[in-house]
Chain A
Amino acid sequence: MKDVTLKHRRAGFALEAEFDLHGARVTALFGPSGAGKSTIIAAIAGLFRPDRGRITIAGETVFDSQSGIFVPPRERRIGVMFQDLRLFPHLSVEANLLYGWRRAASRPARGSADKVVELLGLSQLLKRRPHALSGGERSRVALGRALLMGPRALLLDEPLASLDAARKAEILPYFEEIVRETRIPMLYVSHALDEIARLADRIVLLNGGHVLAEGPVFEVTSRLDLFAGTQLIPGTVLPATVLRHDEAHGLSEIVAGGEVLVVPRVTQSPGGEIRIRIDAEDIMLSLSRLDAVSANNVLPAFIADIRESGPHADVQLQVAGARLVARITRRSLQRLGLSPGMPVFAVIKSVTVGGREG
């Protein structure tokens, strides 16, 4: 039986989802808005009683409709970072951070609490009130507050959705740091593939209240069948190893899926593990090897599968030891006469290097 099994019906919406949480540090709950992500978070946190189902967190069943178990939220020890943060406006940053810590039976030691505060860069803000903070600072306080209660699991409900791109870029490294530094299993809700690509180990793809797929992030993101009808743009996330740096050009060579790729200089040393993301719209297909092209990364590939929807055709490519997804137009598909089994060249326009290792 899965860790989370939920059936809940309310006006105009039916949630019927089951998925696992164990075996991964960060599980991404990924799907478009209205897919039921926040409902699942609220159910796991205990903020409402689902019609039917069972929820097991870190080996303890906190909800089971059959045997009538419903552990109230305050006894679940599940940290939640809400989309709207919900900082207490009448309390200082310090009192906000310590609200859960003071009430936790198995709270982190003062020293490790201080370390979290340090890690999140909050030491200078402790005396301030939430309304005197920037959006990014508020997010960090909310994350810190959830961490300091010593949670068995952490639920992050679109924690970056309210931030602009610049703030997001400022906050993401903190999340990566927290993922590196703590052993707390996290459920990270998002509809942004770039966040998930950087943070998640496993992904649960949700649409219309149903789980479409779940599995390791590297596998799920390269599948073709999942993204049709979700409004989400596919993209492949791959593990990679740093090969060498090309200091003269400010570039690094990395190995991903058995192929060497050239990317902007990464901070990791040769041999270091990184992960990369290649968006489907950043891959062009060519029938001949293009030598006179500005793209650095042109890989020979075979077409594994093709799925057409609307004006697009998503083409799954087998490249040495990995699968990539390219999104082209159906017109190009016809013009080039592409079909499964054909050899092509994948011209990769851009590779995004994620901060997380492995």
Chain B
Amino acid sequence: MGGILTAAEWQALLLSLRVALAAVVFDLPFAFAAALLLARCRFPGKWLVDGIIHLPLVLPPVALGYLLLISLGTRAPLGAFLLANFGVRFVFSWTGAALASAILTFPFQVRAIRLSLESQEAGLSDAAGTLGAGALDRLFTLHLPLAAPGILAGVITAFAACLGEFGAIITFVSNIPGETRTIPLAIYTAIQSPGGETAAARLAAISILLALAGLVLADSAGRRARASIGR
């Protein structure tokens, strides 16, 4: 590789993409389940569940990073348990960055998917029922495909938000080149070092290009998804 980008820039870029992808993929099934719960079910305490799901939107990322550090650090009970029994260590690892990003961007996915589920005509589900489809059948042949535009929108928004994550990552998993130094952390590092303005500007440019590419992709994918369900 190389060429236009330096090795360190490639490293930060690929790491950012890896962290964001892992976070989004990890979130998706949970986000769909949560969206389904909020869109279709009535139960006591729903407001509380709704609030908890949306908490990351209003929680300072640094606070979340701190909470993760004290609960998943290797000397914390849960962190020690995971390390001893599963060999899983989140602190100072890119997986920790992905976990923090996943938690922070979870609400974006839930909201988009919930909206697309709520906008589905209830009558279609009834019609599928009279045609012999049970609840699970309807989920996979009706609700899931009809929610495709919402799922796509949620995934892309969450992915973009992951790329910008800073506070939680630096607090929880620190700023380790090649392991946890994503583009925002690399920009921060460049600014902190004397004469790093050029490097910071280049990284910022990469961020902008990435964001633009994401927007274009989201638009065309969204159009295609909507066309597939006849909207």
Which A residues are closer than 8 A to B by beta carbons? 45-47, 72-80, 82, 84, 86, 88-90, 99-100, 103-104, 129-131, 145-146, 149
Number of A-B contacts (CB under 8 A): 66
Cβ–Cβ contact B130 & A78, under 8 A: yes
Point out the residue from A86, A129, A149 that lies within 8 Å of B124, measured CB to CB. Answer: A86
A45 to chain B, nearest CB (A): 5
For A150, the closest partner residue in chain B by CB is B132
For the complex, give the distance between the alpha carbons of A12 and B134 in Å: 32
Closest-by-CB residue of B relative to A149 is: B131
A110 CA to B187 CA, complexed, in Å: 64
A74 to B146, CA, bound (A): 21
Q: List chain B residues, Cβ under 8 A from A104.
A: 132
Q: Are A82 and B133 in contact (CB under 8 A)?
A: no
> A180–B171 Cα gap in the complex (Å)?
76
Interchain nearest-CB distance for A113 vs B (Å): 14
In contact, A84 and B123 (Cβ under 8 angstroms): yes
CB-contact partner of A45 in B130, B134, B146, B230, under 8 A = B130
Quick one: given A88-B124, A89-B229, A90-B228, are A73 and B142 in contact (CB under 8 Å)?
Answer: no
**Residue from A46, A99, A145 with most neighbouring chain B CB atoms (10 Å):** A99
Interface of B is mostly: helix
Closest residue of chain B to A45 (Cβ to Cβ) is: B130
Can you report 29 A-B residue pairs in the complex whose CB atoms are below 8 A from each other? A45-B126, A46-B130, A47-B129, A47-B130, A73-B129, A74-B130, A74-B131, A74-B133, A75-B132, A78-B130, A80-B130, A82-B126, A86-B121, A86-B123, A89-B146, A89-B230, A89-B231, A90-B145, A90-B230, A99-B128, A99-B133, A100-B131, A100-B132, A103-B131, A103-B132, A104-B132, A131-B230, A146-B131, A149-B131
When distances are taken between beta carbons in the complex, the residues of chain A under 8 Å from B231 are 89
Complex Cα gap A104–B130 (Å): 11
Partner of A99, one of B126, B131, B145, B228: B131
| Contact of B50 with A by CB under 8 A | no
Which A residues lie within 8 Å of B230 (CB)?
A: 89-90, 129-131
**Which A residue sits closest to B228, measured CB to CB?**
A90
